[in-house]
A and B are shown apart, each in its own frame.
Chain A
Amino acid sequence: MDTAAGGRPAVMRRRMINVYPTRGVALFLAALPFLLLLLAYLAGSAARLADNPDDKLLPSFASIGAGFARMAFEADPRTGDVLLWVDTAASLARLLAGLAIATVMAGVFGIAIGLVPYVRTTFNGFVAVIAMIPPLAILPILFIIFGLGETSKVALIVIGVAPVVMRDMILRVDEMPRELMVKAQTLGASTWQIALRVVVPQMMPRLIDSVRLSLCSAWLFLIAAEAIASQSGLGYRIFLLRRYLAMDTILPYVAWITLLAFALDFALRRLQRKAFPWFAGRA
């Protein structure tokens, strides 16, 4: 760059892969798709409402707000409950119970299968086959065995999530450099000590990653189970409201579910960074 002549570097056209937006531009660009979606909705809603003030398909933001307020702040005349919070509590309890059981199972069995050849030979094929069963296909079986209560819904989440996370754990244990295993043995570690001090601590942050990725399917199974047989829960509510075409309530419910899912994902990411600082900093 010739700075002597004009005191300014010569302008060079860089390749697109080397051009980055400034902070402000980045913020705007990130918000842009959301804004466009919002605008498109507003335009569509306004057009339909102009045509027919009773249109239910694309309600105005005012009626969505009213719908949300009705669910979130007013007691239901029939039950006396504030439905959004009751539904949220019921759904989160099922989701978290299912995820917790699935995570523990996947962690314990995944690491055992990945680490011990005899356990692997016995269970590896079995897990691979079980993981291929579409969980929703056995939902009727779960309803028959466990009844229509909480157990069958939690079980569906466990069955849907655990095998996938377990297989991921097996792969992650496989991925550990052989050198580390040999090194641990030359330090005198037993199998149990290797599992406890070497493998489990290294798998924990990876387990969190794996659970984060399966959050989406956990929600899917939860809402499916609630839609089919339940008296409460976010999934139950939106499927119930569908009968009344109550888009003004369904839409904020979907947004609320998305927010919850996002918050859960964010919390797990923060937990990972806080609890396993070595993981983020690794080369």
Chain B
Amino acid sequence: MTAVSVKNVWKEYDGRIVLEQVSLEVEPHSFIALVGPSGCGKSTFLRMLLSAEMPTKGDILVEGERLPGEPTADRGVVFQRYSVFPHLTVLENVVLGKEFAASPFLGKLFGKAKKQAREEAAEILTAVGLGDFLNLYPSQLSGGMQQRLAIAQALIKRPKILLLDEPFGALDPGIRAEIHVLMLKLWRETKMTVFMVTHDLSEAFHLGTRVIAFDRPRNRPEERERYGATITHDLAVWPPKYPVSDTHIASGGTTRLLDELEALPGRPGVGH
């Protein structure tokens, strides 16, 4: 149950403004879907939440505390690719998080502690549907299974915030639907606050409690250098998914959602 507060964040690269005036208040246990055209800075925003990059200006607060300057174990992540370690088996990939915490020098557990960690990891892997594949290497898994593994690997650290960078973008539709069900279940059970970058609007509305669109309000070629993207739409998703607080529904509501949906660029049948 973690609140996140983004206060007037800017991001520049060598004087080129990528993001500007990004402010956002996120309630605990939200599922925030970040959408927008390519190059609008939504992945940059996610990487700042991860501390893989720093805002040029502004602050990001988690439960009132400023983010540390590097990635930490309370924020898990799943990338579209390269999320799991190719040299470790499925089980070892998940146990790894436990070993880092318990064994500072060797980063490896032995004996009883090892057995315990492996049991816990196997439990989580069974929950994401990989119980029968514990001893395979990631290269032997399909794309969907690799993403399940990446999720399990992040979950063993019990992160307060889970960051997903187009996690299901490369999966085919059937697999994607299955993994959506899993993701919603895990989100409900773990009470994590989730941020997910996606290109897929229907996915955004299906999973998110709130959909945030980034775009460049000024996008003429001569403006692009000096004006960044910012949040252009902030939609509460109806019907609310358990357990979104009442205030959120009151402030959002159906009419606002529908109005703003009309305004979204190129919406392909948002059918959820």
Separation in Å of the B99 CB from the closest CB of chain A? 7
Are A187 and B75 in contact (CB-based, < 8 A)?
no
CB-CB contacts of B92-118 with A at 8 A, as 1s and 0s? 000011011100111110000000000
Q: CA of A185 to CA of B81 in the docked complex: distance in angstroms?
A: 16
Are B72 and A177 in contact (CB-based, < 8 A)?
no
Is B76 among interface residues, defined by CB-CB distance under 8 A?
yes
Q: CA of A59 to CA of B99 in the docked complex: distance in angstroms?
A: 65
Given contacts A177-B81, A179-B81, A182-B71, contact A193 B107 (CB under 8 A): yes
User: Which of A225-233, A242-250, A274-282 is the contact stretch?
Assistant: A274-282
Q: CA of A183 to CA of B146 in the docked complex: distance in angstroms?
A: 14
Is A186 among interface residues, defined by CB-CB distance under 8 A?
yes
Are A187 and B86 in contact (CB-based, < 8 A)?
no
Which bracket fits the contact residues of A? Answer: 20 to 34
Q: CA of A201 to CA of B159 in the docked complex: distance in angstroms?
A: 26
Q: CA of A65 to CA of B253 in the docked complex: distance in angstroms?
A: 94
Q: CA of A255 to CA of B52 in the docked complex: distance in angstroms?
A: 55
Please indicate the chain B residues that have their CB under 8 angstroms from the CB of A184 in the complex: 85, 100
Q: CA of A238 to CA of B72 in the docked complex: distance in angstroms?
A: 61
Please indicate the chain B residues that have their CB under 8 angstroms from the CB of A177 in the complex: 81-82
Separation in Å of the B133 CB from the closest CB of chain A? 14
Please indicate the chain B residues that have their CB under 8 angstroms from the CB of A178 in the complex: 52
Are B96 and A197 in contact (CB-based, < 8 A)?
yes
**Of the residues B79, B101, B140, contact of A188 by C-beta under 8 Å:** B101
Are A187 and B73 in contact (CB-based, < 8 A)?
yes
Residues of A190-223 at the interface with B, using a CB-CB cut-off of 8 Å, are 190, 192-193, 196-198, 201-202
Q: CA of A204 to CA of B86 in the docked complex: distance in angstroms?
A: 13
Is A136 among interface residues, defined by CB-CB distance under 8 A?
no
**Of the residues B79, B107, B137, B140, contact of A183 by C-beta under 8 Å:** B79
Are B139 and A186 in contact (CB-based, < 8 A)?
no
Please indicate the chain B residues that have their CB under 8 angstroms from the CB of A131 in the complex: none
For A180, the closest partner residue in chain B by CB is B82
Q: CA of A180 to CA of B104 in the docked complex: distance in angstroms?
A: 19
Are A186 and B73 in contact (CB-based, < 8 A)?
yes
Are B82 and A179 in contact (CB-based, < 8 A)?
yes
What total of A-B pairs shows CB separation below 8 Å? 89
Residues of B147-203 at the interface with A, using a CB-CB cut-off of 8 Å, are 150, 153-154, 157, 159
Is A189 among interface residues, defined by CB-CB distance under 8 A?
yes
Is A1 among interface residues, defined by CB-CB distance under 8 A?
no
Is A17 among interface residues, defined by CB-CB distance under 8 A?
no
How many residues of chain B are within 8 Å of chain A by beta carbon? 37
Please indicate the chain A residues that have their CB under 8 angstroms from the CB of B73 in the complex: 186-188
Given contacts A177-B82, A281-B139, contact A186 B76 (CB under 8 A): yes
Chain B interface main SS type: loop
**Of the residues B99, B101, B107, B159, contact of A186 by C-beta under 8 Å:** B159
Q: CA of A193 to CA of B103 in the docked complex: distance in angstroms?
A: 9
Are A183 and B77 in contact (CB-based, < 8 A)?
yes
Q: CA of A184 to CA of B88 in the docked complex: distance in angstroms?
A: 13
Is B220 among interface residues, defined by CB-CB distance under 8 A?
no
Is A11 among interface residues, defined by CB-CB distance under 8 A?
no
Is B125 among interface residues, defined by CB-CB distance under 8 A?
no
CB-CB contacts of A126-161 with B at 8 A, as 1s and 0s? 000000000000000000000000000000000000
Is A30 among interface residues, defined by CB-CB distance under 8 A?
no
Separation in Å of the B194 CB from the closest CB of chain A? 14
Q: CA of A182 to CA of B108 in the docked complex: distance in angstroms?
A: 19
Is A31 among interface residues, defined by CB-CB distance under 8 A?
no
Is A283 among interface residues, defined by CB-CB distance under 8 A?
yes
For A198, the closest partner residue in chain B by CB is B85
Q: CA of A279 to CA of B87 in the docked complex: distance in angstroms?
A: 7
Q: CA of A196 to CA of B87 in the docked complex: distance in angstroms?
A: 13
Are A180 and B139 in contact (CB-based, < 8 A)?
no
**Of the residues A179, A189, A278, A282, contact of B107 by C-beta under 8 Å:** A189
Please indicate the chain A residues that have their CB under 8 angstroms from the CB of B157 in the complex: 186-188
Is B44 among interface residues, defined by CB-CB distance under 8 A?
no
Separation in Å of the B48 CB from the closest CB of chain A? 12
Residues of B34-71 at the interface with A, using a CB-CB cut-off of 8 Å, are 50, 52, 70-71
For A203, the closest partner residue in chain B by CB is B87
Are B137 and A188 in contact (CB-based, < 8 A)?
no
CB-CB contacts of B257-270 with A at 8 A, as 1s and 0s? 00000000000000
Separation in Å of the B136 CB from the closest CB of chain A? 10
Please indicate the chain B residues that have their CB under 8 angstroms from the CB of A192 in the complex: 104-105, 107
Q: CA of A50 to CA of B262 in the docked complex: distance in angstroms?
A: 97
Is B83 among interface residues, defined by CB-CB distance under 8 A?
yes
Given contacts A180-B85, A278-B87, contact A197 B76 (CB under 8 A): no
| 20 A-B residue pairings within 8 Å (CB atoms) | A179-B79, A179-B82, A182-B50, A182-B77, A183-B83, A183-B84, A184-B100, A185-B71, A186-B76, A186-B77, A186-B159, A187-B73, A187-B157, A188-B73, A189-B107, A193-B100, A197-B96, A276-B87, A278-B86, A283-B139
Q: Which residues of B line the A interface, CB within 8 A?
A: 50, 52, 70-73, 75-77, 79, 81-88, 96-97, 99-101, 104-108, 137-140, 150, 153-154, 157, 159
Q: Which residues of A line the B interface, CB within 8 A?
A: 177-180, 182-190, 192-193, 196-198, 201-202, 276-279, 281-283
